[in-house]
């Protein structure tokens, strides 16, 4: 796997991530993972901030493109005494067989995935039919003036970090995922989304 700019950026900030980013989102994590069971994949696990909120009776696999973020996730899993299968992998090119998972989880990931359509197609491939994707993501606001401002500012945002104008709801549908619920937090930017895989096996 070629080391992308995204991997390099997250390798650089791994030591700072929890202080810099996570504290703003920690209150949104509970509830995202309620009712999960079976085979679960978390993509872009980062430093493992969702690990404490997973129910215990499931088998969790986690991937990330940044080895430094993943090392922190490994430490967190040990601290919590959880057995999590952690792998260095790009969501755009996953090595799991088709239909491997009952649930896929992503939080704050699709702002940085280089090709979100390819990433979501892969999610749809590895999810079982009717399997569910749970997301906590920031997206382009549906409010016209705010959405346009986000488009205008995106090149600057990309210079220092991630995209701020991703149309994730549209991309989900194009990738064969049916949106079951879409809960907005503040200015329709932060979203908790549940989507079901409606693609049928080839």
Ligand X SMILES: C[S@@+](CC[C@H](N)C(=O)[O-])C[C@H]1O[C@@H](n2cnc3c(N)ncnc32)[C@H](O)[C@@H]1O
Q: Which is nearer to ligand X, 53 or 128 (CB)?
A: 53
Residues 39/102, Cβ–Cβ less than 8 Å: yes
> What's the min distance (Å) between Cβ of 6 and ligand X?
5
> What's the min distance (Å) between Cβ of 157 and ligand X?
13
Token pair of 139, please? 């997206």
Q: Which is nearer to ligand X, 158 or 178 (CB)?
A: 158
Q: Which residues bind ligand X (CB under 6 A)?
A: 6, 10, 21-22, 43-46, 49, 63-66, 69, 90-92, 107-109, 112-113
CA–CA gap between residue 185 and residue 202 (Å, rounded):
37
> What's the min distance (Å) between Cβ of 38 and ligand X?
20
Token pair of 129, please? 């039919």
Token pair of 87, please? 């792998």
Q: Which is nearer to ligand X, 69 or 139 (CB)?
A: 69
> What's the min distance (Å) between Cβ of 39 and ligand X?
18
Q: Which is nearer to ligand X, 112 or 165 (CB)?
A: 112
| Residue of closest CB approach to ligand X | 46
Q: Which is nearer to ligand X, 6 or 58 (CB)?
A: 6
Residues 107/32, Cβ–Cβ less than 8 Å: yes
Q: Which of 162, 123, 7, 20 is nearest to 71 (CA)?
A: 7
Token pair of 176, please? 């064969």
Q: Which residues of 83-116 are buried (b: 16+ CB within 10 A; e: fewer)?
A: ebebeebbbbebebeebbbbbbbbbbbbbbbeeb
Greatest CA span in the chain, whole angstroms? 47
> What's the min distance (Å) between Cβ of 144 and ligand X?
27
Q: Which is nearer to ligand X, 61 or 112 (CB)?
A: 112
> What's the min distance (Å) between Cβ of 65 and ligand X?
4
Name, in order, each residue with C-beta under 8 angstroms of 142's C-beta and a sequence gap of 6 or more: 188
């Amino acid at each position: 796997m070629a080391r992308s700019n995204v991997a390099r950026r997250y390798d650089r900030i791994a030591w700072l991530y929890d202080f810099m980013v996570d504290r703003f989102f920690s209150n949104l994590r509970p509830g995202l993972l309620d009712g999960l069971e079976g085979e679960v994949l978390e993509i872009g696990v980062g430093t493992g901030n969702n690990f404490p909120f997973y129910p215990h009776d499931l088998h969790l696999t986690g991937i990330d493109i940044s080895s430094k973020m993943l090392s922190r996730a490994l430490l967190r899993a040990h601290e919590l005494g959880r057995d999590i299968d952690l792998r260095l992998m790009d969501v755009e090119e996953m090595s799991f067989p088709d239909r491997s998972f009952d649930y896929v989880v992503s939080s704050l990931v699709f702002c940085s995935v280089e090709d979100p359509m390819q990433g979501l197609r892969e999610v749809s491939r590895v999810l079982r039919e009717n399997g569910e994707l749970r997301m906590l993501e920031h997206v382009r606001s549906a409010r016209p003036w705010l959405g346009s401002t986000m488009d205008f500012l995106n090149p600057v945002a990309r210079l220092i970090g991630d995209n701020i104008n991703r149309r994730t709801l549209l991309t989900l549908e194009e990738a064969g995922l049916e949106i079951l619920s879409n809960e907005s937090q503040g200015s329709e930017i932060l979203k908790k989304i549940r989507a079901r895989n409606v693609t049928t096996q080839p």
